[in-house]
Homo-oligomer: A and B are copies of this chain.
């Protein structure tokens, strides 16, 4: 019986051809990878954004365009690659001059910043839905979700928890104003992804929450982790405002911050420190890779978390 996204994936993997010569990575990572030559590959990702799960009515069209593309670019960043080409299939209910222009301006902000080329697309009339496809290339190594080694440091870029906190604090106008930019306009970590690509052992972007995404990294790497909650970097408003339970929810279950979570050998600490300075972005050690089992520790005390993963079809 097909009841959720995982069942669809399992059905596809059992019944449909998902591998062939030159397909280095198929379904199951942030991007698919096609080998072009010994050192050159293409990475490809597609994501759809919808009113409801991905953006709400209080997003401006500019923010909708920006975020839809940012989340796709984040998948390329998580593979340690450089985004290059872009296709978009959009469905919009009606053509409003102001909406269209603002929407494409949001997209264009990222196209300009990352020197992308929009090479194709399709436009239809119907319920708002935006699908991007981004094609990137590797500079050095490609990062996958698997590859973590025992005793690796576990890092996150930037600060996390703000996207969920924005939702939790949406009625507090002042706090929401500070936090909503993290929810509406996340920064895809392209430069850092490229810079760590030859020193990180595995990488994912935190779209489904640290707990679920770290779980994916560790289960694909067949490893465990000790996570030090007190070290997880967040915005001071998140720390000061939320109750203990909501704070943990924002930090660990939140997602949608689109920061990178990766692991790297202890010997790379200095290199990563300089990258953090170079890109003016915190890159923080939040844990250690262990043999098995993921443990969350708060100043040395083990915390029992009761987390649900996100599934579009769960009730």
A: residues with CB less than 8 A from B are 1-5, 7-8, 11-12, 15-20, 23, 25-27, 31-32, 34, 36, 42, 44-48, 50, 52-53, 84-85, 87-91, 94-95, 97, 100-101, 104, 107-108, 111-112, 115-127, 129, 131, 133, 135, 312-313
Contact = CB atoms under 8 A, between A and B. Distances in A.
B44 A135 contact: yes
A117 B5 CA distance: 20
B87 A44 contact: yes
A124 B46 contact: no
Given A11-B100, A11-B101, A125-B312, A46 B117 contact: no
B1 A97 contact: yes
Contact of A89 (B2, B26, B46, B101): B46
Contacts of A50: 91, 124, 126
B17 A118 contact: yes
B119 A16 contact: no
Contacts of A118: 12, 16-18, 26-27
Contacts of A5: 123
B48 A104 contact: no
Contact of A125 (B17, B53, B119, B125): B53
Nearest to A126: B50
Interface of A is mostly: mixed
A313 B125 contact: yes
Given A2-B101, A32-B87, 10 more contacts: A16-B104, A17-B117, A23-B119, A34-B119, A42-B42, A44-B120, A44-B135, A46-B87, A47-B122, A125-B312
Closest 5 pairs (CB-CB, A-B): A32-B119, A32-B120, A127-B127, A20-B117, A125-B312
Nearest to A51: B126
24 contacts: A1-B97, A11-B104, A16-B104, A16-B107, A17-B118, A27-B119, A31-B120, A32-B120, A42-B42, A44-B85, A46-B87, A46-B88, A46-B89, A46-B131, A48-B122, A48-B124, A52-B126, A53-B126, A87-B133, A91-B129, A95-B313, A125-B312, A126-B127, A133-B133
A15 to B, nearest CB: 6
A301 to B, nearest CB: 38
Contact of A47 (B42, B89, B94, B111): B89
Given A87-B46, A87-B133, A117 B31 contact: no
Nearest to A43: B120
A30 to B, nearest CB: 9
Contacts of A124: 48, 50, 53, 312
Contacts of A111: 16-17
